[in-house]
Amino acid sequence: MELKHKYKPREEWGIEGYLCSDCQIEKTKEFAARPSEPDTCALCKQDLGDIAVKPRWQWNMEAGTLLCQPCFNKKEADYNKKLNFCALCGTKMGIIRYNPKPAWKVEGQLCRKCWDGRNSTKQQQ
């Protein structure tokens, strides 16, 4: 149909030329309904700019979360620390490590000494 009023589509729609008002409204709705990619870091809330990094799935972060590079590095360091060091005494653990019981509310893993310590304390109570 002939365009009485021409509407310039938005750049992000990727449309060349012009739209009639009906199509303009349709497209606006369509794009508004789409979840937009976050443009700020989920941790420090700073603008991501061009460098946005997806967190690792092991970190259990919300789907669609994006991080800036410094936060990603920090998070990874934290995660590796949790993975390799005892959550209580900070000793570097070998291959053998122990998962704390849920009741202890300890995040991470424990060395044998701390696990035994926790376990016997709880039993005495």
* Near Zn ion in 1-40, by CB under 5 A: none
Residue 93 interacting with Zn ion (CB under 5 A): no
Q: Which of 71, 75, 85, 108 binds Zn ion (CB under 5 A)?
A: 71
Tell me, rounded to whole angstroms, the distance of Cα 57 from its chain centroid: 8
**Considering beta carbons, is residue 6 or 113 the nearer one to Zn ion?**
113
Residue with tokens 């030329």: 17
Residue 51 interacting with Zn ion (CB under 5 A): no
**Considering beta carbons, is residue 10 or 113 the nearer one to Zn ion?**
113
- How far apart are alpha carbons 79 and 107 in whole angstroms? 11
Stretch of 1-9, 25-33, 56-64, 70-78 contacting Zn ion, by CB under 5 A: 70-78
Stretch of 5-13, 14-22, 94-102, 107-115 contacting Zn ion, by CB under 5 A: 107-115
Burial class (CB in 10 A: 0-12, 13-18, 19+), 16: exposed
**92 to each of 7, 40, 62, 102, how far by Cα in Å?**
63, 34, 29, 22
Residue with tokens 């993975």: 83
Which amino acid is located at 46 in the chain? Q
**Residues near Zn ion (CB under 5 A), total:** 11
Residues that bind Zn ion (CB under 5 A): 41, 43-44, 68, 71, 86, 88-89, 91, 111, 114
